[in-house]
Structure 1
Amino acid sequence: MRIGGLASGMDVDTMIKNLMKAERLPYNKLSQKKQVLEWQRDDYRQVNTSLKQLDTFLFDNLVLQGSTMTKKTSSTGESVVTATANSSAANVSSNIKVDRLASSATWVSEGNAKSFEARNGDLSLKVTSGSGVLKDKEVTVSISATDTVKDIAAKLSNDKDLNVSVIYDEVSGKMSITSKDTGQAGSIVLGDEETVKFFQTLGFSFSSAAPNQELTGKTAGTDALFTINGLTTTRSSNTFSMNNVTYTLKGEGSSTVSVSNNNDALFDKIVQFVGKYNDTIESLNKKINEERYKGYQPLSQDERNELSEKQIEQWEEKAKSGLLRRDSLISSGLTSMRTQLYNPVSINSEFKQLSAIGITTTSNYQENGKLKIDENKLREAIGKDPNAVFQLFSADGATPAEKGLARRLRNSIKDTVGKIEERAGNATKTNQSFAIGRNLINLDSQMNRFESRLKQVEDRYWRQFTAMEKAISKSNDQYSFLMQQFSGN
C-alpha cells in the first residue's frame, strides 16, 4: 500500500491514477479489439449452429427414407387385428380370419404351502419360451432361510430370465405361476433335486425328487391360429411380422388390413423443410445486413462502473451489432445454397426441380430467396408419385447434377461450415487452429507486454512523486531550522 502527499499535501494517488488512465488508452484499445474478435467468433459459431441444425434436419427427414416415406395401415375390425408397417412394406390389402389367440402357460400348485420350508440356496430352472426356444443357461434364483412364501413369489416374479408372474393366495395356500410369453411350447423344468424338493413344499406334486422334471399343475399355452389371404398358419405370439407389416391379434373374428403410402408424412416434412430453410437464410441475411454502429465500442471496466445494468445491455447490443456485416463467407454460402436448390436434378421423373412440386421463391426481393409453397400442387405431386418427389430431394447420383436437392444442400452447408471453422473454429478447437484464435493469441501477447510496461510506468511515477515528497520534506525541514535560528536571535 502506497501513501503519498504527506509532505506536499497533494492527492498523489489520484494524480497517478489519472496519469495511468492516459497511459492505459492503448491497452484499452487492444482490449476492445480482443472483445470485438471474441464477439465476432461467437457470431460465426452461431451461424454454423444454424447451418448444422438445417443439415441435421435434411439428413433425418429428406435423406433417410425410413423417417419420411412411411406407410399407414387401416383395419376394418380393430377389435380383431391392428397393424403397423415400415417404409419397405408393399401397398397391399390382407384378409385375416383369427380362429384362436395365443395364450400363456400356467402352473398351479395342487396342494398348499403349509409345509413350506425356507432355506438358503439357489433354485435351478430351465426355461423354454412359448416359441420353443430354450434359454442358453439355467436360470438361478437365490433364496434365503428368512424368506416367506410372499418373498419367494416376489423373487420368482422379479427374475427377468424366468419371465413369469407369480401369485400366492393366502386363503387357499396355493400358488399360480404364469409365463409372460405366449405359445404352446412354453415350459419350466426344475434342474436339480433340491429345487424339486423346494417346490414340493410350495404345494407342487412330484412322484419323486428326481431332477429335470417339468413343473406340475400345468395348463399349456396355445399358439395363435389364423388365416391370412387363404393361408392358415400359427404364431406363438399375438404380435408378429410378415412382409414388413407387424400385426397384433386382438380377438377372434375377421378383418381386412390395408397398407398404403402415408403421403401426409412426406408433405409435412417438406413443409417443415421450407420453414427451416427460410428461418436459416433469414437469420444469416440478418447477420450480413445488420447495422454497424462504429461509435459503440466495447466498454472498459471503468466505463461499466459508471453505467447501470440496463445501460450496459443497451450499449453492448449496439456494440455487437453488424460484426458480420457484408461477410463474404456467409454471403457466398447463401449464394451456393440458393444455386443448389434452383438447379434441376437429373433423375428419371417429371419432378426435376422445386417448381414442379409447387415450391418457388417469393416475389419480394427483400426476402432474399425465401421459399413459398403451393400446397395444392405439392399434395398433387405427392399423390401422383411420392417416391419421385422424395427422390427429388434424396437421389444419390454419381455426379452433382444427379444428386437430390437435400444432398446438394448438405454439401453446400458442409463447405460453408468448414470455411467458417477455419476462421472462427468451434468449441473443441484450440485458438491456434483457426484465424481469429491466432489473432486472439497475438493480442493476448501484446496485452501482457503492455501490462508489464504499465506496471513499470506506474512504478516510475511513484518513484518520481516519492522523490518529490522527499525533496519537499527536506525543504520543509530546512525552512523550519532557519525559522528557529531567526527566532532565536
Structure 2
Amino acid sequence: MDTSSLNSIFAYYSPYGLYGLNSTSSLSPLSATQRSQESSGISALSGSSRTTVSSLGKALSAVADLQTAAEKLTQPGSFSSLAVSSSTSGVVKGSAAEGTAQGAYTVKVDQLAQGQVLTSATQGSKYDTVGSGADTKVTFQFASGRSASVDIGGGDNTLKGMADAINRADIGVSASVVSSANGYQLKLSGESGAGNAFTVSASGDATLQGFFSSPPGGNGLLLTQQAQDAQGTVNGSAFTSGTNTATTSVEGLTLKLTATGTSTLSVGANPDQAKAVTDFVDAYNTVQNSLSSLGKEYTGFGLTSSFLRNGLANALTPGQDAGGDNARKLADIGISSNANGTLSVDNNKLKAAITSNPDGVAKLFTTTSEQGVANRVLAQVDSGGSLSVDNLLKTAAPSLASPSFSSDSLQSSLVGSLLSQQQSLLSQYGSLGSLTASLNSTGQLLSNLLGNSSGGLGGLGLLGGLNNPGLANSLFSR
C-alpha cells in the first residue's frame, strides 16, 4: 500500500507526536508482519500460477509463428533456385523461372499499359432519367475485333441504372458514376492494352443514341484516356505487353512494370531458397518445446501436452500424392526427427534437394489436395485445428485449473482485510488528535482572558503551561 498520503496527514496534525506516532510507519510493521505470515503460502502458489500462464502464452505465440511459416511453404515459387534483384524497384521488378540465364539485364520501360476511359455528358443527378425509357441496345466494338452488347430497359435509363446494366453484362468494360463540379457523369473503363480499345454506339432511344455516340458527337462520350500497351527494351531487345506483367526475349524472365524509367535486373542463385524450410523447422521445434515445458510445469496438463505434440508430429507424414522423385518424405531432403520430438536439418542435403528437384520439394510441402506437410500442419494450427488458439485455450484451461489460479483474488482479499484493521487503528488515534485539539482551544481561551497579566500567559497555551508549571504558578499567585 502506498502510505505517502497518510504520512502527509500525520505530518499536518502534529498532536500525533504527543503519542509517539510521527507517521504511519508506527503502524506499518504490524501490517507488514501480518501480511508476511498469512500470505507466504499464497505467494508461493502465485508464483507457480504466473509461471504456468506465461508458458501458455509462449505456446500460443509459438503456434502463431508456426502457422505463418507453414503458410509461406504453400506459396508458389517458394523453392525457386533463382533470385532477381532490381537496381530501381520502383520502375521494374522481375522473376526468373528455372533455366533462365544468370546475369545482368538492362531494362528500359518506355510506357506502361493502360485501359481506355470514356466519360459521358454531365447530368444533374445520378438518378435523372436520360431519354424516354424505350428499349435500347448499346454495342461495344473492340480493337481486337470482339464485340458485345448491353440492353438498357425502361428502368435503367439513369446514370446509376446504365452503370449497373453494363457491369452485370461483364463484357470487359467497367462502369461507374463519378461526380464533378458540374454534376454527375457515367465513366466507362476498359481493360489495359491497345487491343482492348473500344467504340460505343446505341440503337433504340434517340437520346441514348446521342448519349453513347463515340467518337464524340454532340453530347456523346468523351475520350479521357487512350488504351495502350506497355513497351520497352531488355538489353536493347523490344518487348510489348497488353498488361504491366511482361514476358521478354530472355527465356524465363518475367517483368513487373510499375513506372517508366531504366533499371538493371540481376539474375543469380537464390541465397535464401532453403530459408522457408529452416524457418518452418525452427517454428515447429519451438511449439514442441513450449508444449513440453508446459506439461512439465503443471502435471495436470501432461497428458494433454503429449496428445497435442503427437498430433503435430503425425502431421509431418505427407499424403500419398505429395512429394516427387527423391522427395517423398522429410528425411529425403535432410530433415530428421530427434528423440525429444524436435527436428534437425542437414542444410547441405536440403539445399542439394531444392537445387536438383525444386518442384518435388515444393510438392512435398503443399499439394492441390492439401496433403503436403505444410498443408497438414496448417490443418492442426488453423481455426478448428487441435492447436488453434481457441482450441488450445479450451483444452488447456480445464487442465490448468487449480486453487492457485484464484490466488490473486485470495491474496487481494487478505490484504484488504489487513488494511481495514490498519484504518481502524488510525481512526482511534484520530480521536485522540481531536481531544488534543480541544485542549489547545481551551488554552487559547484562557490566554485571551489573562492577556493583560504582567507575566504574560498569552501565547503560552494550556499545554505550554503544563509543560512549564513553575511559570504558570508564579503568574496565578500574583
Q: TM-score, normalised by structure 2?
A: 0.47
Q: TM-score, normalised by structure 1?
A: 0.46
